């Protein structure tokens, strides 16, 4: 079963989010640690598309799926990230079904979308193959991860989930608490009710559910709540915590 099939079937998958350590060895380290995918962050971490191109080539060569969180809903970010070898994009602050449709159309070649055609590049491993066969393969295999992290996004989550081409609803958990007026309160009934709404929307429209966790307990908690695409992060916090535990 390939990654898209796992996403479509809401199979349990584990990965990591990387915000700071954009070293060439990071994808291999994460693969060796048991990750199936890695999400490189462009929204907060200062990653450039040129850096991502190198990381995506290394990731794909070592059979760990590279995703990139782009900084905003913009065709140029979506299409270029995919051309550089991304298995898919994570998009923050998705508030409406129209936002989701824009992302899907930016990611897909015609007739499903408006992605511009360029072949023989990093996204198809520099292979000179039939453009038509690649177009079909790309449209069927890319993964669109839509972040639900605002009050408006939560209010529209069912409509967003209903959009064809949305593959995963990803909770931006801290931002979600911020926008709901309960910053960092993950035990609040307001937050837990929001999580239940997102899970219900995902289950109703057969979308994967994703979130980032910082420890084993959080991973088990969200897995039990119905989340299947779970990434560990941040790597800065994990490294700092591990070193601190040794030194103390």
pTM for this prediction:
0.96
Q: What is the pLDDT of residues 13-71, one digit of tens each?
A: 999 999 999 999 999 999 999 999 999 999 999 999 999 999 999 999 999 999 999 99
Three-class DSSP category at 84: coil
Class of domain 3-247 as given by CATH: alpha beta
Q: Is 140 exposed, middle or buried (0-12, 13-18, 19+ CB in 10 A)?
A: exposed
Whether 230 and 223 have beta carbons less than 8 Å apart is answered as: yes
Report the C-alpha gap between 163 and 90 in whole angstroms: 16
User: For residue 122, which of 81, 159, 92, 157 has the smallest C-alpha distance?
Assistant: 81
User: For residue 78, which of 56, 57, 106 has the smallest C-alpha distance?
Assistant: 106
Give the β-pairing of 143-148 and 208-213.
unpaired
Q: What is the pLDDT of residues 189-246, one digit of tens each?
A: 999 999 999 999 999 999 999 999 999 999 999 999 999 999 999 999 999 999 999 9
Q: Tokens 């035990």 — which residue?
A: 187
Separation of first and last alpha carbons in the chain: 44
Question: What pLDDT band is residue 130 in, cutting at 50, 70 and 90?
Answer: confident
Question: What pLDDT band is residue 133 in, cutting at 50, 70 and 90?
Answer: confident
């Amino acid at each position: 079963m390939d990654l898209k099939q796992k996403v479509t079937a809401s199979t349990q998958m584990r990965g990591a989010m990387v915000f700071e350590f954009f070293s060439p060895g990071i994808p291999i380290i994460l693969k060796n640690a048991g990750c199936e995918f890695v999400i490189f962050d462009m929204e907060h971490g200062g990653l450039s598309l040129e850096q991502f191109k190198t990381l995506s080539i290394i990731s794909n060569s070592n059979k760990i799926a590279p995703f990139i969180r782009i900084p905003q809903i913009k065709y140029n970010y979506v299409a270029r990230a995919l051309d550089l070898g991304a298995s898919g994009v994570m998009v923050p602050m998705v508030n409406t079904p129209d936002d989701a449709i824009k992302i899907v159309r930016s990611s897909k070649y015609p007739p499903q979308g408006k992605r511009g055609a360029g072949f023989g590049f990093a996204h198809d491993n520099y292979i000179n193959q039939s453009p038509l066969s690649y177009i079909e393969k790309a449209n069927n295999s890319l993964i669109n991860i839509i972040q639900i992290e605002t009050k408006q996004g939560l209010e529209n989550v069912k409509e967003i989930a209903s959009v064809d081409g949305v593959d995963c609803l990803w909770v931006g958990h801290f931002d979600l608490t911020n926008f709901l007026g309960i910053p960092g309160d993950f035990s609040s009934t307001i937050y837990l009710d929001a999580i239940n709404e997102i899970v219900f929307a995902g289950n109703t429209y057969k979308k994967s559910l994703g979130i980032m966790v910082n420890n084993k307990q959080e991973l088990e908690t969200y897995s039990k709540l119905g989340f299947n695409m779970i990434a560990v992060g941040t790597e800065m916090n994990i490294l700092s915590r591990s070193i601190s535990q040794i030194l103390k």
